[in-house]
Structure 1
């Protein structure tokens, strides 16, 4: 279990930034996300401090490895601080909201391209920006209790931080299911899907950290973690996934609503999962859901993490001013009535021109393609 980092473990060169503990420890540059009450969500100041540290450690010979973890067992990181983004988007300088997102994506891309090993220990939930930090690293490692999700459509957002790249590498029906429903899945499925490279043996975390700090050798992970998944535990029945073989939101809903779960797929269990999937689809913003489908399809056609970030930046630029984003924040974070009024109906196809306008939006490249 990840515990709080004590004052004694903070080195003298730690950066005094609220929300993240940054310090040197032996051969490691260490970062600990430290907002447990806020599920370790990322503020702009945290992103800036982490980027600064990575740049400094890149040319520091004594730092052989970067180790990223988080305080507390509930969450590694539940994403970027969407409340902070919303506040910026509704302020007198709305451009700051897009800059916040672009800075976060730049940090993710830096981690993906980092010339030294980056080990990320994921315990608890990882979503949004948490996936961006963990899953693009060279050595993402999950605890047995880790959970993962792409829940963004429920607040009128899209899976970002490179999530469209991650989803594009999955089977299309499973990618649509995860992206549109926000369903959670565990460490075994994350390993099977390639989101993490290993699962930590329970009770070995502190030993692993001590060895990494002493050696800076990521090869030691083999002593403390396994790289072969056991049976998947959170995959939906095949008949439900078949419905997500449809390529539009109305098509998926119709397929779910008219399907017969069948006794051979578990009967009542399949029916329950079908109803749960329908409810999850109806909670999300239809505009964000259709845009998500288009972004993942584009990532399949033109792969690469940097390209995905460029498309996501363009999508986010449009969403920041879209009524669905503000309505999603109102319903889920401000009034908390969980009853958003979206601009489109789930069962009617959104005009293709609305989605195409977003996809063709020019965004500033975060870096050359190839990663």
Structure 2
């Protein structure tokens, strides 16, 4: 049985991620199946809307299958993980440029790769249950699946805060950060799906969109923008500690527990993403960074500590921010020659989705 369920209902085609015991974490096979379905439906006049959702009660998707990445990095040659990322990032780009409404139900947990299959869509729906995050620095990795593109576009330095700390946000904060478009109570989702079978997306949304409860980030913008505008992670931590207050101090403590290398590479990736422009260029950069992470010590150690052994005690190498040099960071962005992802070279970034 496939871990992706495909079906059509009226004018809408549905993609359901169906690994509820693994919180619908994406495997390579799932990525390929979703991509093939989107390619087919793009040219099917009977399909006017595509809807993506997750099976089970816990959420849309917790990310990629990081156990498989861990095993490939530790016991293999890394080629399986690289092939997975190559296809996954191409899928992210397809979703972002999809010519038909792509409706993502970001209900429950949406992290990492789950953000990749949802937040690039043209209609992104959050609920009171939404918990959205890019938590990669906690496993010695860097936000990918176009995450550095999305977070670089967030207002002020909110994206920097989310990328470095891996903080989970709810519906209102997701709307503020540009990671979602509409809030609909989870109790309305079944009726929304019924309406999408018969109605254009705009008409279906009008029946259900509401205002979410107030989030946390808007009230914290002043100190977030000030602290995270610093040029280095060390200075960000210093500013957070000097600012004082429980939220800023908690953010500083969170950063000091993350992989020092991942933090510095993430900050550099975000700042570069702001200058790169289109998503495809950022995905090309993320592919370089992901491959470099695969060959460093922190990704394997981070997954071991958080997922395999679950001792929550990673031993990062280097151990401190001060030990991570500019040269160390620069190596993550080195060109790959013939092994580049190459999305930007063949991308048409002018097309807009109209519905």
Same fold (TM over 0.5): yes
More displaced, 199-208 or 211-220? 211-220
- Return the alpha-carbon distance in structure 2 between the equivalents of residues 161 and 62 of structure 1: 29
Q: Do 2:152 and 2:160's aligned partners in 1 also have CA atoms closer than 8 Å?
A: no
Deviation at 1:160, TM superposition (A): 0.6
1:200 is matched with which residue? Answer: 184
Q: Cα deviations across residues 112-140 of structure 1 (Å, max 9, x unaligned)? A: 11111111111101111111111100111
RMSD value over aligned CA atoms? Answer: 1.9
Deviation at 1:201, TM superposition (A): 3.7
Q: Do 1:141 and 1:196's aligned partners in 2 also have CA atoms closer than 8 Å?
A: yes
- Return the alpha-carbon distance in structure 2 between the equivalents of residues 243 and 218 of structure 1: 39
Q: Do 1:85 and 1:100's aligned partners in 2 also have CA atoms closer than 8 Å?
A: no
1:118 and 2:102 matched: yes
Deviation at 1:215, TM superposition (A): 3.3
Helix, strand or coil at the partner of 1:62: coil
Deviation at 1:68, TM superposition (A): 0.7
1:286 is matched with which residue? Answer: 260
Deviation at 1:232, TM superposition (A): 3.1
Q: Give the total of aligned pairs.
A: 344
Helix, strand or coil at the partner of 1:325: helix
1:6 is matched with which residue? Answer: none
Deviation at 1:196, TM superposition (A): 0.8
Q: Can you give the 5+ residue segments of structure 2 that lack an aligned partner in the other structure?
A: 351-355
- Return the alpha-carbon distance in structure 1 between the equivalents of residues 44 and 37 of structure 2: 10
1:365 and 2:348 matched: no
- Return the alpha-carbon distance in structure 2 between the equivalents of residues 102 and 209 of structure 1: 32
Deviation at 1:158, TM superposition (A): 0.5
2:280 is matched with which residue? Answer: 306
1:48 is matched with which residue? Answer: 32
Q: Which of 254, 259, 269 is the matching residue for 2:238? A: 254
1:352 is matched with which residue? Answer: 326
2:353 is matched with which residue? Answer: none
The 5 A counterparts of 1:72-91 are 72-91=56-75
Deviation at 1:154, TM superposition (A): 0.4
Q: Cα deviations across residues 330-359 of structure 1 (Å, max 9, x unaligned)? A: 111122211111112434162212222221
1:7 is matched with which residue? Answer: none
Deviation at 1:274, TM superposition (A): 2.9
The 5 A counterparts of 1:211-226 are 211-215=195-199, 217-226=201-210
Q: Which of 300, 312, 317 is the matching residue for 2:291? A: 317
Helix, strand or coil at the partner of 1:278: helix
- TM-score, normalization by structure 1: 0.87
- Return the alpha-carbon distance in structure 2 between the equivalents of residues 134 and 214 of structure 1: 22
- Return the alpha-carbon distance in structure 2 between the equivalents of residues 235 and 151 of structure 1: 21
Q: Which of 137, 140, 158 is the matching residue for 2:124? A: 140
The 5 A counterparts of 1:174-189 are 174-189=158-173
Deviation at 1:230, TM superposition (A): 5.9
2:216 is matched with which residue? Answer: 233
Deviation at 1:234, TM superposition (A): 4.2
More displaced, 127-136 or 231-240? 231-240
Q: Cα deviations across residues 215-268 of structure 1 (Å, max 9, x unaligned)? A: 354442122114x666433456333553222121111122223x153xxxxxxx
Helix, strand or coil at the partner of 1:343: coil
Deviation at 1:297, TM superposition (A): 0.6
The 5 A counterparts of 1:25-64 are 25-64=9-48
Q: Do 1:126 and 1:146's aligned partners in 2 also have CA atoms closer than 8 Å?
A: yes
Q: Can you give the 5+ residue segments of structure 1 that lack an aligned partner in the other structure?
A: 1-15, 262-269
Alpha carbons of structure 1 residues 369 and 315: separation in structure 2 relative to 1, 3 Å:
farther
Q: Do 1:165 and 1:308's aligned partners in 2 also have CA atoms closer than 8 Å?
A: yes
- Runs in 1 of length 4+ with deviation above 6 angstroms? none
